[in-house]
Structure 1
Amino acid sequence: MNRRLNNTPETTLPRGALHGVRVIEMGQLIAGPFAGKTLGEFGADVIKIEAPGAGDPLRNWRLIQEGTSVWWQVQSRNKRSIALDLRSADGQDIARKLIAEADVLIENFRPGTLEGWGMGYDVLSKLNPGLVMLRISGYGQTGPYRDLPGFGAIGEAMGGLRHLTGEPGRVPVRCGISIGDTLAALHGTIGILTALYHRKVNGGQGQVIDVALHEAVFNVMESLLPEYSAFDAVREAAGSALPGIAPSNAYRCTDGYVLIAGNGDSIFKRLMQTIGRDDLGDDEGLASNAGRVARVAELDEAIEAWTQTRSMADVLAILGKAKVPAGKVYTAKDIDEDPHYRARDMILQQTTRDGHVIDVPGVVPKLLGTPGTVRSSAPHLGDDTDAVLGELGFSTQDIAALRGRKVVA
């Protein structure tokens, strides 16, 4: 059965590792909000500032259920929403009050936007010397490209990833998700946690974390640059293969493809025995990866000659018994029906604020002592405006006046 965590009273849930940390999220769409989502899942109080009217554009991205994106239900769970006009002087003043009492500020505007609103770090750090500020942008806060618009797709291209995706000689393709934004968010989250630890042990001083989308992508590009530096080698697209490591590829079965990673020395021998090619398994020239890479086409042909006469289920069962890493390419349907996902709480049921029950991803990583939780579903725009302003000391009359001037909604 799916576990339904977000309807559990918060007092009965385990206290998260980040309980007591207050985060102000000014970002929108993917990169900044994904970082806020991650912190919120581990107990941080995340207050999301949205523009009155439309709010975060992600509310209307991809598939919509009763006016709200189901993506929003994942990205904004465990957050509180305040609808605040940051372009107004009163709205900026309220934002500064919020930030003055916060531990973390997340923003992913174009560089200079906050400075134009009187909320550069030089100003905010005087109000709150311990403030940790995550700034995610296309090209970073410095450098000749800092003022150029940059989305995750551009970061993937500049970071070197897009050149490697797709089939050799064909147009580069995206991997199907906004991986550049997510990588930037994860690097930003690492930066936040590192800065919070530094603040704790070094006198309470905060700092700025500057994350560029293309740098986050570049950071996971493995040996791409050293290979060019040492050998003038430009790594190229290789389809489903793993260049320089063999055998590791997707192989055709009677009803689809399976991925087989037979590139460990002992694994390779077991794979060859399993497919009836002991001649290759016992070949001294194939005992190490270098020899296998030199003959990768021969090995791929031998493996696929075996897989293409069998179903995916048969191939996976046989290779599993032989302890050879293999797996099929999962669709959303495969994930939803997989018992392993459910056994590890990686599929949860979440009830939206409109009463719909949907399956959503669980929390990663898994902390066994202070596990992440879904404490609340994603908010409607401005659901928490009055509560948050009340915590700042605004009276009911003050809030009504601000609402009348369209500063809040």
Structure 2
Amino acid sequence: MTEQENKGGPLAGVRVLELGQLIAGPFCGQLLGDMGAEVVKIETPRGGDPMRAWGQGGQPTWWRVIARNKYSVAADLKTSEGQDLVRSLAAEADILIENFRPGTLERWALAPDDLLRINERLIIVRVSGYGQTGPYATRAGFGGIAEAMGGWRKIVGEPDRPPSRMGVSIGDTLAATYGCMGALAAMHEREKSGKGQIIDVALYESVLQVMEGLIPEWTVAGHKRHRTGSHLPGIAPSNVYRCKDGEYLIGANQDSVFTRLADAMGMPELAQDPRYADHVSRGRHQAELDELINAWTERFTVDELEALMIDHSVPAGRILDAEDMLKDPHFIAREAIVTVDDPVLGPIQMQGTFPKLSRTPGGIRRAAPREIGQDTEEIRKRWLDR
């Protein structure tokens, strides 16, 4: 069965109007679409969403993922005709997503308060760099800037080098995920009140939410987190270790797990050594413990080390790239990667839908739109013609 044959999903029947572009707004739409919502994406007739051109290779592929399960409707939101179309669609929608700079919708005569007067049940997800209020609200903001402001960039990388990038647009996707969560919570509340509301999502606050004890560590203990490279300070052993043919990640910081690792190393006495016998002591002697483990892991191939870790029930894992994932039996068994029949590229593999629901699973019902505005007339007929 191809992914497009998977019908329904827990949000089947929910209508979503996506006005955003690039990553934060569209990824929120992707999440809702993967769970079964019907997502209508508004694209400018001149060029469409810039994501159509993003990605590597002769045929950019990022669009194929972020625009799956969506219908493309062409509308110029700077014109009265485009604004009228959005107002008409918003009157029929459950959720509207936008990620423009605050004030843009208002300038286009599409202010949320006005849309709520048209459709009091409408839930409006507004994603922006700094939120809709506060002294920075009208500043231009991208995910990377939010990662810097929210504390992420400060602590990522090697201590003797400038802050590193995560490698993916984590600020954008975190904000999109929180926007999706807010929309689902608002839909639940709407069952009681009958009314929609506005979800104000700031990129920097989305990053801040996952910064663990960053704030209280400073306010209570006077400790500022800093860049520490591959290891987590005070949590040992938990690092990437060298093998004969690559690297391998081991996380054995809990006392009982460290005892099992020491047994696997043929050094059970390490678990009784005062330097390593408990969590605090191992954290205090983290560097020397990592050196000791590295000296041991270098004797093995990744395959050999993995077999030892599995045999001794030590949490550990390979560091995979896309090629590795496509061959991994666990990815295959759980259908973490699926094949979608794409109108441009033919069968294309991409990450599947997540999380997995037992009774009403999500799925990929439609490939990403090939042409800008290809579904305009279909959506007009189904949403607006009565």
Regarding TM over 0.5, the answer is: yes
Which residue of the partner structure matches residue 78 of structure 1? 69
Is residue 360 of structure 1 aligned with residue 350 of structure 2?
Answer: yes
Match of 1:283 among 273, 283, 301: 273
CA distance in 2, matches of 1:294, 1:64: 47
- Corresponding position: 1:190 with 2:181: yes
Pairwise CA distance, 1:363: 0.8
- Corresponding residue number in structure 2 for 1:385: 376
Question: How many residues are matched?
Answer: 385
- For residue 152 of structure 1, what is the aligned residue in structure 2? 143
Aligned residue runs from structure 1 range 1-400, under 5 A? 4-6=2-4, 8=5, 13-66=6-59, 69-201=60-192, 203-284=193-274, 286-354=276-344, 356-380=346-370, 381-393=372-384
Cα distance in structure 2, aligned partners of 1:14 and 1:359? 19
Is the Cα contact below 8 Å between 2:88 and 2:384 reproduced in 1?
Answer: no
Q: How far apart are the structure 2 equivalents of 1:240 and 1:38?
A: 30
CA distance in 2, matches of 1:333, 1:362: 16
Q: State TM-score, norm by structure 1.
A: 0.92
How many Å separate the matches in 2 of 1:339 and 1:237? 35
Q: If the length of structure 2 is used for normalisation, what is the TM-score? A: 0.97
Distance 1:394 1:15, change over 3 A: closer
What are the superposed Cα offsets for residues 159-205 of structure 1, whole Å, 9 maximum, x if unpaired?
1111111111211110111011000011111100000000012x211
Distance 1:321 1:276 in 2: 13
Q: Select between 297-306 and 174-183 the one with higher mean Cα deviation.
A: 297-306
Secondary structure of 2:121's partner?
Answer: coil
| Cα distance in 2 between the residues matched to 1:355 and 1:177 | 24
- Letter in structure 1 aligned against 2:2: R
| Equivalent-residue separation in structure 1 for 2:358 and 2:187 (angstroms) | 21
Deviation of residue 346 (structure 1)?
A: 0.7
Amino acid corresponding to residue 235 of structure 1 in structure 2:
R
Give the % identical residues: 48
Aligned mates of 2:380, 2:8 — CA distance in 1: 25
- 1:310-333 per-position Cα deviation (integer Å, ceiling 9, x unaligned): 111111111111110111211111
Q: Write out the 4+ residue segments of structure 1 that deviate beyond 4 Å after TM superposition.
A: 392-395
Whole-angstrom distance in 2 between the partners of 1:295 and 1:244: 9
CA distance in 1, matches of 2:233, 2:384: 60
Q: In the alignment, residue 5 of structure 1 is paired with which amino acid?
A: E
Q: Distance in 2 between matches of 1:311 and 1:351?
A: 38
Question: Secondary structure of 1:286's partner?
Answer: coil
Amino acid at match of 2:127: I
Q: Secondary structure of the equivalent of 2:3?
A: coil
Q: CA RMSD in A?
A: 1.4
Per-residue CA distance 1:42-97 (angstroms, 9 max, x = gap): 1101000000020000000122555xx21111111111000111110011011000
Q: CA deviation at 1:279?
A: 2.1
Check 1:208–1:393 CA distance in 2 against 1; reply closer, same or farther (3 A cut): closer
